[in-house]
Amino acid sequence: MSTKIVTARVGIPDSFLLSTYLENGGYAAFKKALSMNPEDVHAEVTASGMLGRGGAGFEAGRKWSMLKQDPIRYLVVNGDESEPSTFKDHLLVENDPHQLIEGTLITAYAIGATRAFIYLRGEFALGLERVQTAINEAYAYGAIGENIFGSGFSIDLVLQPGAGAYICGEETALIESLEGKRGFPRIKPPYFPAVIGLYGAPTIVNNVETMSNIPWIISNGGKAFAALGKGRSTGTRLFALSGDVMKPGNYELEMTSKTFRELIYDPALGGGLKEGRSVKAVIPGGVSAPWIGPDNLDLPLGQDEVAQAGSMLGSGSIIVLDDHSCAVRAVWRITKFFNRESCGQCTPCREGSGWIEKIMHRIELGSGTESDLDLLLDVCDNIAPGLTWPPQQTTICVLGPSIPSSVVSGIKMFRDEFMIHIKEEGCPFVH
Amino acid sequence: MSFFNPENLEKAQVLIGLYPDKRSALIPLCHLAQGQHGHLSNEAMEQIADLLEIQPAEVLGTASFYDMLHTEEVGKYLVGVCTNVACMLGGGIELLEHASDVLGVPLGGTTEDGMFTLEEVECVAHCDKAPCAQVNYRFFGPLANGDFDQLLDDLRNDRLSESVPPHGVLSRVFRDAPAMVPLEIIHRERRAMDDEKKARQAALNKDAGGNQ
Amino acid sequence: MSTDVSQNLVTVSIDGKEILAGKGELLIAAAEKAGVFIPRFCYHNRLPQVGMCRMCLVEVKGPRGFSLQPACYLPVADGMEVVTESEKVKKAQDGVLEYLLINHPLDCPVCDKGGECPLQDQTMAYGPGESRFAEEKRHWEKPIAISDLVLLDRERCIQCDRCTRFADVVAGDALIEFVGRGDHTEINVFPDRPFSSYFSGNTVQICPVGALTAVPYRFKARPWDLSQVESSCTTCSMGCRIMVQSSQNELTRYLGLDADSINHGWLCDKGRFGHEAINSSDRVTVPLVRKGDSFVETTWASALELIASKVPSSRSAGDPDRIGFILGSRLTNEDIYSWVKLAKGVIGSDSVDSQLGDGLKGEVIASLRRATINDAVSAKAILAFTGDIKEEIPVLFLRLREAVKSGWTKMATIGTHKSSLDKLSEVTASVSVDQLQLLARELMRESSRFPEITKLFENQGVGADGDGLVVLLGRENLAWDQSVVEAFALELSRALPKAKFLVTIRNANFAGSIDLGAVPRLLPGRLPLESASPMMRQKWAGLPDRAGRGVKEMLSAALQGELDVLFLVGSDPREDYVDSVLANSALDTVGFVVSVDTFLSQSSAKADLVLPASSFAEKSGTTTNLEGRVLTLNQKVAPKGLCRPDWAIACEIALELGGDLGFGSAAEVLDEIAEVSPLHWGLSWNRLERSAAIEGMMIPVSATSLSIRPRAMLDEISTPGIASVWDQGLASSKTTYVETSTNSEDDEPVGEPATQTVAGMVEPIWRLAPVQPLGFMNLAYSRKLYSQGEHLRNSAHLVHLVVEAKCRVSGKTAEKLGVSSGGSVLISDKAGGEGQFELEIDDSVPNGTVELVRGSFSIPGFSPVRSGETVNYVKVERA
């Protein structure tokens, strides 16, 4: 059995209650941190080499170092998990809210935050109830508030519900939303949150899973964390496996310890596909990522390994398509998602997403033409010039250049399937 | 005339007090209003604007950006069927068609008895239970057509009223923590922390310099 | 100097060409100055940038090579390398245009913006030839009215955020917003809360497509039907620069011009849509002479003869003091000078006034150290004791709002009731008449009774001598006599000799009236009666023997039977004089009233003779704005009927009386003004026009104070509708437009406008406030933008915006009165006049005060303000 860090308490009855948490060593890390200098806490996190678990994969310790040292600075936890087929934070907030809170408080101490916010996806009703309950318990326990555990450190922690907008997972859009506005991403530069963030003050935005790892790192030391995994991929990660597999679910694995194939086929993990089917494509790291084919199944589940194959590990979600599933339909559904979730702020994404979705829908329904494929690629090219990975962009944020990923992957890997839709004027698959 | 009832008005004031800038309370107040009224009425938005000292158009402009904030009336149960990739692979699109058939309403429609409004939703992070549906943001899955019919039946007959409150009620847990730490205290503490940190760094540098 | 400049300059390479640009300047603006035009939609030089449309993407070299960056969002940096013409840039821009067009309707032929549309123009210049979009376009209900003046077509909208940014950031009226998300984002208002901003028309002007159109201009004209001239708005004293456009001798539209020192391109709706009144068919177009209860048309010749028969032709033939002149705010400097020369020079009467009890004494204004608008917005601190600027001088409000929101200055407001400035102020204090004197004396002293204001000013670095302080001085509450404000101003300027004053009186050209002697005791150039210049003695037939009367004294004299003839030149005392009871009874008793007017106003309708005057845009001339800036007014259309410019009418009357004013054109009048008035030395029509002085010239003009800036570059995408008329419009517009000259002789150094105290310092006269009579309440009495007036009544699309006659009190006061909202109250003035009003509850009104809006009612026998009262109180009872 490999090391479990963030899911160690998942499965324990009432794992979300303070009493359970305390019985299992809860808040010891925070107490330990409070006895250390903030910069030493920070140093442990840096030593852990932990990459942010939100999707961009930037080292958490380095991110904290970039925080402009203004007198007022904020910590915001990004719990707006909305990347399709990503459901790891959902698990963590419902099952171990105190772990998240403890990690948040340690981070707030390390970076000297004025106030901390947990922005949680609005649809997570149960999660909101569990986290708010946990915050109430933590205040009562003395872990939040004034002069925490007599350390002379005070902080408030506020839970902010979202209200249903994928774009708010983008950190600057999340900040706008937290300011009570439409979730329009800000333009970088100059709006790097670590310099100009919430209310114009320097702000650290970290993902729920990132925060949930912090107590373990402080308890066990950054080195212990760094000892897990390989290269830049240290520690464990929650992989959210879904699609055409027998046992979809969240699997916490030491990074790079397994390959895609093992995750999918290991009876203790994905449990393989339906009888007689084979893997057609895998969408790693969320639907923003380019697809990988069966030839890449032996890639280890590591940050750089997947990047070298031309895609990304992103949010750690993995969708499997088997050979009975229609690639065109999947591409269309993904473009429909982006069209619905485009914030509408900048032209290429607002207009391009709708246009692409309309063409894809036509092709899936059987009224596409061969020239539509070139048109699709060109319309995509006007959002992400060159259609490279990592992409360039004509848009304000990265939602725009995420749209072409599936379209380009689909046409590149399954052009024949597109042509069958066009020639036979319909989808050849049975739904 | 106050839209918010006294209890909620008090909650609204608590929410507003949580933020350095009161406009941050906009979304929480919209949820609060929906919890009271089932949807976000014009009267609610006008009062929220008053409370936050902004224009009602700004409340509408922000609220309309978010899928969960409904400025039109919706049924007691807002049923959302996910058709995003993972659910689609598990038959989500077909489940949505079935839902539309058994409810007898198109997408966005509300049943005549005002019980159900049907919508197609994007991924709700329940992908290991595909195809899934949410009812007032409480999740159910995986759902075969029969499971879905049973779910409707349970809802209709109040068998799930414990876990699924009427639409608009999101979190039933509110902040009961003591008053916020005064910002002056935080600012004083942080200044001290920063000063100590600088002093330690200076001492380190001095040591390093002395060794050379 | 050169080192200073070079430190603030950076070198940027654009398409291989090195250019110098100001540090921090946006790339899009720097490129434009260097002659490289980068296409854009959302960028507007007067709005914060948002980088949303993505049309201005160019390649900029970074650490990882060239990447596409929005030129509108990127400040230039030294050594920056930019490519604007590569294939990649071209493809990105083509792509954006194509995206903007896929859902844009093809209704250009029926769109008001057709021919002057930045989307249309840039599609022609940069866009693809054919559409590759085979899908169904987005549909919205076409057009919806978002206010009485503005229509919105959401299908045409390209979501550039200009209108919403303007409404929120510039106007502070966030009444329109983005609604919805993604490709279903629309602009809209909140249900039943229309876009009733005073500044709504600006959104139409800056809309880069035909999404926002103005109701008054709808389907009226195309750029190729129009011709245009530059002019200045005379709706208030701001002097906003405008482009006046007409088609077939009818005014069609005003557009705001971007004058950096004045209006930044913005206009208020009252000014913008005011052209309708000029086109009105109700104008007076022929001379009218009274026959019993009605008028009959007459000829100019007989009208002038009639005047000659009533006015003594020489000083010896009669008493010139029995003849009075009340001049209004319609007049140009040339009109004013001509009438002053007629009255004081030919007829010999010094009884000339230009204020209707709502202004301040000319000598007082003349003795204050003057601040410009730019002084105010960059002052260390501002003290506001003025009428509500947003209601009276709306675009000045925008300038002040920008200054405060940008942190350039901080403001304290004193007064008796709520004002739009309160929200911009760090401190607002309510004052009583008796506190004013102390406030003025002790403002910057330790003993200050208003320590919050004093502390604010000290923190802002205002000196003990008032250095760095600008006072906005106007009539905060008309229930207080002007002498109260005058005494305060004089006391303050004595205590703080370095403080500057910006006199915020609303009436257009009040400054010109004072500068040119349209007040008793002063001659043109603000010279005291006895100090006429030698040149004036030469040019004028004579001078008044003794000081004359102001308006109040003229009206009182009339009641005593001491006034035989009264000339009303663009003034309407029956409606506009603060004490309407006095005005009405006085005018009833004057033997012969001549009204020179554009409409049959309340006063002209009862005059004995009405002479038809040319209106704005029917004559050329100059006007002086509140800060003393002389601005050109250009004729655009022929005068209606037999209308004549006011200055010409004065000339005709003089001739009829045997005098000769000596000029045949407005330009000649200006030449003489420049000769006889030391304030105006150096001004000439040619200079004002030729110099491309979009901002006019500050007076007094001297070598060091010549304030002419080169014309700001016109961004035709920021201000659609102007360049298109030059390019496509009727020939006449081309001849009158003066091109920018950057190397003309007028490029003289810009200096501080000199302040002058031509008239001697006037002693403040403090009068104690009378004790509030038992049963009487405080009165707050002030104007709103849409208070009634002849102009508003004759503007088809503004008339229904006129404010209703209501009185406002706080809930507590209403309770005391026993009247609920919507109920009726009876208000009696000091002299027993009564008026019935609907009551409205407004808790911003102080308890014990009743608020009435001047110009919202006209009740015979009732005037809440009575001439001669230092402070007016009124009695309020349940009706």
pLDDT (tens digit per residue) in C6-49: 578 999 999 999 999 999 999 999 999 899 999 999 999 999 99
pLDDT(C379) > 50? yes
Query: Do C807 and C850 meet the contact criterion of CB atoms below 8 Å apart?
Result: yes
CA distance C148 to C795: 13
CA distance B112 to B75: 9
Query: Do B87 and B76 meet the contact criterion of CB atoms below 8 Å apart?
Result: no
For residues B52 and B84, state if they share a domain: no
Both structure tokens of A428: 């050849």
- Strands C629-633 and B133-135: what pairing? unpaired
Chain B residues in contact with A248 (beta carbon < 8 A): 86, 127-128, 130
Best residue of B128, B167, B188, B205 to probe chain A, by most A CBs closer than 10 Å: B128
Topology, domain C776-878: Barwin-like endoglucanases (2.40.40)
How far apart are the CA of A404 and the nearest CA of chain C, in angstroms? 15
Number of structural domains chain B divides into: 3
- What share of chain A has pLDDT > 90, as a percent? 98
Instruction: Output the pLDDT for position C714.
Output: 62
Query: Do A42 and A112 meet the contact criterion of CB atoms below 8 Å apart?
Result: no
Q: Do A346 and C95 touch (CB under 8 A)?
A: no
Residue position matching structure tokens 């209501």: C806
Residue position matching structure tokens 């005068």: C639
Report, at the CATH architecture level, how domain A18-227 is classified. Answer: 3-Layer(aba) Sandwich (3.40)
Instruction: Output the pLDDT for position B209.
Output: 67
* DSSP secondary structure code for residue B6 in this structure: H
The chain B residue lying nearest A331, using CA atoms, is B85
Q: Do C179 and B45 touch (CB under 8 A)?
A: no
For residues B101 and B151, state if they share a domain: yes
For residues B57 and B83, state if they share a domain: no
Domain endpoint, select from B63, B94, B109? B63
Lowest mean pLDDT among C117-126, C206-215, C396-405: C117-126
**CATH class of the region A327-423:** mainly alpha
* DSSP secondary structure code for residue A374 in this structure: H
Average pLDDT of span A308-320 = 95
CA distance C3 to C245: 45
- What share of chain A has pLDDT > 70, as a percent? 100
Q: Do A180 and B125 touch (CB under 8 A)?
A: no
Chain A residues in contact with C95 (beta carbon < 8 A): 348, 381-383, 394
Q: Which of B86, B181, B196 sits opposite A84 (nearest CB)?
A: B86
Q: How many CB pairs under 8 A join B and C?
A: 39
| pLDDT tens-digit series, residues A181-208 | 999 999 998 999 999 999 999 999 999 9
Q: Do C98 and A393 touch (CB under 8 A)?
A: no
Query: Do C462 and C497 meet the contact criterion of CB atoms below 8 Å apart?
Result: no
Best residue of C159, C165, C179 to probe chain B, by most B CBs closer than 10 Å: C179
Hey, is the C-beta of B72 within 8 angstroms of any chain C C-beta?
no
Lowest mean pLDDT among B79-93, C93-107, C639-653, C739-753: C739-753
pLDDT band of residue C215 (cuts 50, 70, 90) is very high
| pLDDT tens-digit series, residues A46-56 | 999 999 999 88
Instruction: Output the pLDDT for position C734.
Output: 42
Q: Do C179 and B54 touch (CB under 8 A)?
A: no
Give me the residues paired with residue C370 across strands.
C501
Helix (H, G, I), strand (E, B) or coil at B34: helix
Chain A residues in contact with B180 (beta carbon < 8 A): 156
For residues B51 and B11, state if they share a domain: yes
Query: Do A413 and A291 meet the contact criterion of CB atoms below 8 Å apart?
Result: yes
Chunk chain B into consecutive blocks of 10 residues (it has 212) and report each block's average pLDDT, rounded to whole numbers.
Answer: 95 95 98 98 98 98 98 97 98 98 98 98 97 98 97 97 96 86 95 95 82 49
Q: CA-CA distances (angstroms) from residue C772 to A133, A296, B73, B161, C869?
A: 61, 92, 56, 66, 12
Instruction: Output the pLDDT for position C312.
Output: 83
Instruction: Output the pLDDT for position B116.
Output: 98
**CATH class of the region A232-322:** alpha beta
Q: Do B57 and C178 touch (CB under 8 A)?
A: no
Both structure tokens of C625: 């704005």
Print burial letters for B41-52: b (CB count within 10 Å at least 16), e (below 16): bbebbbbbbebb
Average pLDDT of span A348-354 = 98
For residues B23 and B59, state if they share a domain: yes
Look up residue B138 and give its amino acid: R
CATH of the domain spanning C2-101, picked from 4.10.320.10, 3.40.50.150, 3.10.20.740, 1.10.730.10: 3.10.20.740
Instruction: Output the pLDDT for position B206.
Output: 86
Both structure tokens of B145: 């057509």
Which subunits sit against A, judged by 3+ Cβ pairs under 8 A?
Answer: B, C
Both structure tokens of B211: 């060794």
Residue B167 covered by a domain: no
Hey, is the C-beta of B61 within 8 angstroms of any chain C C-beta?
yes
Hey, is the C-beta of C276 within 8 angstroms of any chain A C-beta?
no
CA distance A387 to C762: 77
CA distance C182 to A166: 11
Query: Do C70 and C89 meet the contact criterion of CB atoms below 8 Å apart?
Result: no
Instruction: Output the pLDDT for position C713.
Output: 55
Instruction: Output the pLDDT for position C784.
Output: 95
For residue A48, give the nearest of A67, A63, A32, A66 by alpha carbon.
A63
Q: What contacts A75, CB < 8 A, 6 or more positions away?
A: A104, A107, A108, A111, A113, A115, A116, A117, A203, A204, A206
Extents of the domains making up chain A: 18-227, 232-322, 327-423
What is the CATH number that goes with domain C288-358+511-683?
A: 3.40.50.740
Instruction: Output the pLDDT for position C762.
Output: 67
Give me the residues paired with residue A19 across strands.
none
pLDDT(C747) > 60? no
Hey, is the C-beta of C190 within 8 angstroms of any chain B C-beta?
yes
Best residue of B26, B48, B64 to probe chain C, by most C CBs closer than 10 Å: B64
The chain C residue lying nearest B57, using CA atoms, is C190
Chain A residues in contact with C180 (beta carbon < 8 A): 344
Chain B residues in contact with A431 (beta carbon < 8 A): 91, 93-94
Q: Say yes or no: do domains A232-322 and A327-423 share a fold.
A: no
How far apart are the CA of B107 and the nearest CA of chain C, in angstroms? 17
The chain B residue lying nearest C182, using CA atoms, is B65
Cα pseudo-dihedral B53, B55, B60, B62, rounded to 10: -60
Both structure tokens of A311: 């895609």
pLDDT band of residue A175 (cuts 50, 70, 90) is very high
For residues B202 and B134, state if they share a domain: no
Give me the residues paired with residue C427 across strands.
C412
The chain C residue lying nearest B70, using CA atoms, is C180
pLDDT band of residue C649 (cuts 50, 70, 90) is very high
| pLDDT tens-digit series, residues C546-559 | 999 999 999 999 99
Q: Which of C173, C177, C181 sits opposite B60 (nearest CB)?
A: C177
The chain C residue lying nearest A346, using CA atoms, is C52
For residues B123 and B97, state if they share a domain: yes
| A322 burial type by CB count under 10 A (0-12 exposed, 13-18 middle, 19+ buried) | middle
DSSP string, A252-273: EEETTSSBHHHHHH-TTTT---
CA distance C345 to C274: 35
How far apart are the CA of B184 and the nearest CA of chain A, in angstroms? 10
Chain A residues in contact with B195 (beta carbon < 8 A): none
CA distance C346 to A355: 77
Chain A residues in contact with B23 (beta carbon < 8 A): 179-181
CA distance C405 to C122: 34
Give me the residues paired with residue C145 across strands.
C151
Instruction: Output the pLDDT for position C720.
Output: 85
**Which residue did the predictor score with more confidence, C316 or C376?**
C376
Going C367 to C369 to C374 to C380, the CA torsion angle's sign is: negative
| pLDDT tens-digit series, residues C352-373 | 999 999 999 988 998 899 999 9
Instruction: Output the pLDDT for position C749.
Output: 36
Topology, domain C362-506: Dimethylsulfoxide Reductase; domain 2 (3.40.228)
pLDDT band of residue C110 (cuts 50, 70, 90) is very high
- What share of chain C has pLDDT > 90, as a percent? 82
pLDDT(C776) > 70? yes
Look up residue B177 and give its amino acid: A
Query: Do C482 and C490 meet the contact criterion of CB atoms below 8 Å apart?
Result: no
Q: Which of B28, B134, B201 sits opposite A161 (nearest CB)?
A: B28
Interface of C with A in 55-84 (CB under 8 A): 55, 57, 67-68, 70, 73
**Which residue did the predictor score with more confidence, C764 or A30?**
A30
Instruction: Output the pLDDT for position C756.
Output: 47
- What share of chain C has pLDDT > 70, as a percent? 93
Hey, is the C-beta of B53 within 8 angstroms of any chain A C-beta?
no
Hey, is the C-beta of C713 within 8 angstroms of any chain B C-beta?
no
Q: Do B122 and A83 touch (CB under 8 A)?
A: no
Residue A115 dihedral angles phi and psi, to the nearest 5°: -155, 150
Look up residue C35 and give its amino acid: G
What is the distance in angstroms between the CA of the first residue and the CA of the last residue of chain A? Answer: 39
Hey, is the C-beta of B50 within 8 angstroms of any chain C C-beta?
no
> B186: domain range?
181-212
CA distance C238 to C244: 17
Chain C residues in contact with A385 (beta carbon < 8 A): 68, 88, 91-92
Rg (Cα) of chain C, in Å, rounded? Answer: 28
Q: How many CB pairs under 8 A join A and C?
A: 93
Q: Do A334 and B85 touch (CB under 8 A)?
A: yes
Q: Say yes or no: do domains C2-101 and C776-878 share a fold.
A: no
Chain B residues in contact with C184 (beta carbon < 8 A): none
Q: Do A347 and C178 touch (CB under 8 A)?
A: no
| pLDDT tens-digit series, residues C460-480 | 999 999 999 999 999 999 999
Q: CA-CA distances (angstroms) from residue A231 to A60, A210, A261, A289, C270?
A: 15, 18, 21, 22, 69
CA-angle at C205, arms to C203 and C209, nearest 5°:
85
Residue A210 dihedral angles phi and psi, to the nearest 5°: -60, -50
Instruction: Output the pLDDT for position B32.
Output: 98
Q: Which of C57, C181, C182 sits opposite A394 (nearest CB)?
A: C57
pLDDT(C742) > 50? no
Hey, is the C-beta of C54 within 8 angstroms of any chain A C-beta?
yes
* DSSP secondary structure code for residue B110 in this structure: B
The chain C residue lying nearest B41, using CA atoms, is C191
- How many Cβ atoms sit within 10 Å of the Cβ of residue C136? 8
| pLDDT tens-digit series, residues B112-166 | 999 999 999 999 999 999 999 999 999 999 999 999 999 999 999 999 999 999 9
Hey, is the C-beta of C442 within 8 angstroms of any chain B C-beta?
no
Extents of the domains making up chain C: 2-101, 288-358+511-683, 362-506, 776-878
pLDDT(A238) > 80? yes
Residue B170 covered by a domain: no
For residue C609, give the nearest of C285, C304, C281 by alpha carbon.
C304
Average pLDDT of span C582-603 = 97
| B10 burial type by CB count under 10 A (0-12 exposed, 13-18 middle, 19+ buried) | exposed
**Average pLDDT in chain C:** 91
Q: Which of A37, A155, A199 sits opposite B200 (nearest CB)?
A: A37
Q: Do B84 and A87 touch (CB under 8 A)?
A: no
**Average pLDDT in chain A:** 97
The pTM of this model reads 0.95
